[in-house]
Amino acid sequence: MQERYEPAAIEAEAQHYWNQHHSFAAQEDDGREKYYCLCMFPYPSGRLHMGHVRNYTIGDVLARFMRMNGRNVLQPMGWDAFGLPAENAAMANGVPPAKWTLDNIAHMKAQLKSLGYGLDWNRELTTCLPQYYRWNQWLFLRMLEKGIAYQKTGVVNWDPVDKTVLANEQVIDGCGWRTGAPVEKREIPMYYLKITAYAEDLLDSLKDMKDWPERVRTMQANWIGRSEGVRLGFPHDIGEGGVLHAFTTRADTLMGVTFCAVAAEHPLAAYAAKDNAALSAFIRECKSGPAVEAELATQEKRGMPTGLHVRHPISGEAIPVWVGNYVLMSYGEGAVMGVPAHDERDFEFAKKYGLPIKPVIDVQGRPYSLEAWQSWYSEHGRCVNSGRYDGLEYEAAVAAVAADLSVKDLGKKRVTWRLRDWGISRQRYWGCPIPIIHCQGCGAVPVPDEQLPVVLPVDLVPDGSGNPLLKHAAFLNVKCPRCGADARRETDTMDTFVDSSWYFLRFACADNDQAMLDHRVQYWLPVDQYIGGIEHAILHLLYSRFWTRFMHDMGAVPFKEPFARMFTQGMVLNEVFYRKPESGRVQYFNTAEVTVTVDKDTQQRLAVLRADGGEVESGGIVTMSKSKNNGVDPQVLVDEFGADTARLFMMFAAPPEQTLAWSDEGVQGAYRFIKRLWKAVYDHVSQGPAAPLDKAALNETQRGLRRQAHQTLAKVTDDIGRRRTINTAIAAVMELLNALAKLPQASPQDRSVAQEALEIAVQGLSPIIPHVTHALWRHLGHRTALIDEAWAKVDADALQSSTLQWVVQVNGRLRAHIAIAVDADEAAVRAAALAEANVQKFMGGAPARKVIIVPGKLVNIVV
């Protein structure tokens, strides 16, 4: 064994060993319990970023740990290879998205290998290849047959200059990112997947998913957004007459309605605008407003009267109808009943436009004032000023109102969902073609199964002027499969969330070119542990749950939930630096190009761009992203310190579940620790083999170290296996190594105890830093490769101790530490605590009023 730690050679050798022995090639084996450990697959952007390293290291730690604990582990990897960045790169460099993407994959695959992840590359899949995406198309056709996929219109961002549809992120302050032209909204036909058909089941199942983080389940539940209420009808004589429908969860406030507000897209709005120029201008303005909910919700609430009136369903009173920019056509009925007295938005709206406010709920007799909104105005209470409903509490009032309306056929209890159907059409080239052919005579005709896949041409280069498929005759022109006439192929492609909604199933059988899935799915699925960023807590996970349910219903898989256990890692953040020139777009500068100094006197931070010495501004600490140019390249770490240091640092810097703010400091510390571990083994091994451990012949010091070694093993096992706090597992091994360094190495038994402690340290860290531990295990005298060893068992005898350390408090304040024999009874503990000198001092002669004893830990004396 050599004295120096040389990561490059050690890592190459360990990786060569795993490669030669196919250590991570997973085989189905009914006799062994499987463990499917999956990390969210990456978008092949070109280089790995810190988020990937964090994600895949967590996954690899768990996979290696479970493997050593006897499970048949599958840990696959693939590529989420369709998407917008490839088109942007094509526009910038003139390289076709296919080539750019595949080149990126080759580079990132090499990076993943250099980090030593135990991945089964035999199952690699790439979503932009027809052998994968053909099954998107096949399943889409099944959804079409079942009515789960359907067509309706949807709104898109339209850049009038480039004549192209923009993604939300390409719209900056309401203007196109390339042209700067104000973006228009357009309604176009699109395909939707009826996820709402599964809303109830998606929600109900959440409560059984105990191995998912609580916060993720809460977010999903809120997203699905079940609300119970009443669907009301306001009858009217507008046009040919009819009923304006609105949904409310507060039917108890019905007698407080003073207006109704409808969305700009509502038919009544269109009717009223016919001969009202001002209103039709206002509606146009609403429609051209933001499409993003966050912007919609923060914009000023505005409205305009339509001049139309509907009748109150109970009182028959005339209620004015307004158009409001805060009413969403996509939620409920696209209309709301305005109860300004008990709804904050309605209150604000009524105040602004001088509409009457009529309090109808008494909340514990508190005085209502029309002056300013109070948060308790929207609380439940008892009906007042509500005629025959006076005195009723919330539930009774809602029931009574619903019953009365139901008689008149003007209302009914109803459940509404916030969740909307999933629009999957994208007016873009680099995605999976939607298998539809448009025929003049037959309409939208599904591509027959035997003509699948519809292959995307791979040599096109988008130029920003819309989907290049529209100009590609060979793709575009086809015969109608139904009537044989000339027809046009659908040029929209699928949302990339479709690709990622089932890839986890395909890993079980990625090589099957005859079917989407096969029997191997039943062995490997569901995923035992899924790991990915918290940013995917809602959309990706919900879409995958929906997709799996559909496949379950068609009998393709025997389970409804794809991910038995979910782990959401926190994001990796870094400071962002920028300059905003007088004209033009904000310029971002990478952390690596910026020097930050702190003025000693003023404590002011100064950030300077090294290239020109000029000052740059700090935009705070945010997620590392390409668009903010604040990423740190993990490759630099690997090149300088090796993969083990990169892995160790990422795992030690923060608990995996929380955000990690990047800092360069600390990397050195991780490197130093590995060197110390290496040195400790070197010093030990260079004295020759250790004698066998004689448990009976140990002195007190040796027993103490042995106890700590096994406590460490227990802690590491629990921290990785149950708590998933890899950072504390590392800290525990560091402590063990610190203690070992203080142990004298004189007698043969000293060396035996040291041998055992070093083995525990090396094995305990092996899931985290697998290369160096692979080498050290050999040096410690083992023939079997560490990855093939079974996880060590805690020796219960080693944990035994004759005394326990107790804490004694007086009135909840720490006053003494006492050591008491383990077998002492409660009375003895109590007596010992009361006898302690410092305890007596703080009791000041007063008798103990109460003595609280927490077994094995603490005595609190209350005086």
Partner RNA sequence: GCCCGAAUGGCGGAACUGGUAGACGCGCCGGACUCAAAAUCCGGUCACCUAAGACGUGGUGUGGGUUCGAUUCCCUCUUCGGGCACCA
Q: What's the CA gap between 731 and 741, in Å, rounded?
A: 15
Task: State in angstroms the smallest separation of the CB of 588 from RNA.
Answer: 14
Q: Report 781-800 residues binding RNA (CB under 7 A).
A: none
In the shown chain, the binding pattern of residues 494 to 533 toward RNA, with x for contact by CB under 7 A and - for none, equals -xxx--x---------------------------------
User: Shortest distance, CB of residue 754 to RNA, whole angstroms?
Assistant: 15
For residues 168 and 587, which CB has a smaller minimum distance to RNA in the complex?
A: 168
Stretch that binds RNA, among 144-152, 489-497, 589-597, 765-773 (CB under 7 A): 489-497
Report CA-CA distances (Å) from 276 to 202, 283, 302, 320, 855: 45, 11, 17, 16, 80
Identify whether the C-beta of residue 157 lies closer than 8 Å to the C-beta of residue 183: yes
Nearest distance, CB of residue 58 and RNA, angstroms? 14
Considering only residues 834 through 853, tell me which ones interact with RNA, judged by CB under 7 A.
Answer: 838, 850, 852
Q: Is 605 in the site for RNA (CB under 7 A)?
A: no
CB nearer to RNA: pick between 15 and 548: 548
Instruction: Report in angstroms how near the CB of residue 309 gets to RNA at its nearest.
Output: 29
Residues 90-149 that bind RNA (CB under 7 A): none
260 in Cβ contact with 319 (< 8 Å):
yes
Nearer to RNA, 385 or 623 (CB): 623
Residue 857 is a binding residue for RNA (CB under 7 A): yes
Classify the phi-psi angles of 634: left when phi > 0, otherwise alpha if psi is within -120 to 50, otherwise beta: alpha
Number of Cβ within 10 Å of residue 620's Cβ equals 7
Question: Least distance (Å) from RNA to the CB of residue 678?
Answer: 10
User: Binding residue for RNA (CB under 7 A) from 22, 412, 723, 793?
Assistant: 723
Minimum Å distance from CB 648 to RNA? 10
Residue 569 CA: distances (Å) to CA of 203, 213, 239, 726 = 23, 11, 56, 12
The reply to whether 816 sits near RNA by the rule CB under 7 A is: yes
Residue 329 identity (one-letter amino acid): M
Binding to RNA by CB under 7 A, coded x per residue (else -) over 362-401, reads ----------------------------------------
At a CB cut-off of 8 Å and minimum separation 6, what does 838 contact? 815, 816
Nearer to RNA, 784 or 838 (CB): 838
Site string for RNA, 556-595 (x = CB under 7 A): ---------------x-x----------------------
Q: How far apart are CA 445 and CA 435, in angstroms?
A: 9
445 in Cβ contact with 437 (< 8 Å): yes
Residue among 623, 635, 747, 840 that touches RNA (CB under 7 A): 623
Q: Residues for the chain: how many in total?
A: 863
Scanning 241-249, 260-268, 579-587, 725-733 for contacts with RNA by CB under 7 A, the matching segment is 725-733
Binding positions for RNA, 653-692, rule CB under 7 A: 653-655, 658-661, 663, 665-666, 668-670, 672-673, 675-676, 679
* CB burial of residue 397 (10 Å; 0-12, 13-18, 19+): buried
**Residue whose token pair is 């995958």:** 544
SS (H, E, C) 491-519: CCEECHHHHCCCHHHHHHHCCCCCCCCCC
Phi, psi of 121 (to 5 degrees): -75, -10
Distances (CA, A) of 833 to 829, 844, 857: 6, 15, 12
Should residue 727 be labelled a site residue for RNA when binding is judged by CB under 7 A? yes
Site for RNA contains 862 (CB under 7 A): yes
C-alpha–C-alpha distance, residues 259 and 347, integer Å = 11
Please identify, among the stretches 56-64, 553-561, 649-657, 691-699, the one whose residues bind RNA according to the rule CB under 7 A: 649-657
Binding map of RNA across residues 55-94, x = CB under 7 A, - = no contact: -------------------------x-xxxx---------
- Site map for RNA, 208-227, x if CB under 7 A? ------xx--xx--xx-x--
Touching RNA, residues 401-430 (CB under 7 A): 418-420, 422-423, 425-428
Decide if residue 829 touches RNA (CB under 7 A): no
**Which residues are CB-neighbours of 630 under 8 A, at least 6 positions away?**
574, 575, 576, 577, 588, 590, 591, 622, 624
What is d(CA 451, CA 825) in angstroms, rounded to the nearest whole number?
Answer: 81
Cβ closer to RNA: 196 or 385? 196
Least distance to RNA, CB of residue 676, Å: 4
Residue 40 Cβ vs RNA, minimum distance, rounded to whole Å: 8
> Helix, strand, or coil here: 422?
strand
What the block records as the tokens of 120 is 């089964």
- How far apart (Å, rounded) are the C-alpha atoms in residues 521 and 730? 35
**Tokens 């085989």 belong to which residue?**
27
Token pair in block for residue 514: 């005859």
Closer CB to RNA, residue 230 or residue 494?
A: 494
Residue 457 as a binder of RNA (CB under 7 A): the answer is: no
Q: Is 4 in the site for RNA (CB under 7 A)?
A: no
The stretch among 350-358, 376-384, 536-544, 631-639 that binds RNA (CB under 7 A) is 536-544
DSSP 559-573: -S-SBSSEEEEPPEE
CB of 78 to RNA, least distance (A): 12
Total residues at interface with RNA (CB under 7 A): 103
As measured in angstroms, the least distance from the Cβ of 315 to RNA is 31
Using the rule CB under 7 A, is 718 a contact of RNA?
A: yes
Residues 161-180 that bind RNA (CB under 7 A): 165-169
Residue closest to 537 by CA, chosen among 223, 130, 826: 223
Q: Write the single-letter amino acid at 699.
A: N
Q: Which of residues 246-305 bind RNA (CB under 7 A)?
A: 291-294, 297-298
Task: Give the integer Cα–Cα distance in Å for 766 and 213.
Answer: 27
Comparison of 8 and 292: residue with beta carbon closer to RNA: 292
For residues 93 and 663, which CB has a smaller minimum distance to RNA in the complex?
A: 663
**Cα torsion through 255, 256, 261, 267, rounded to 10:** 10
Cβ distance 233 to 573 under 8 Å? no
Of 693, 815, 829, 843, the residue at the interface with RNA (CB under 7 A) is 815
We find the least distance from the C-beta atom of residue 193 to RNA, in angstroms, to be 10
Using the minimum distance from each CB to RNA, give the nearer residue, 367 or 844: 844
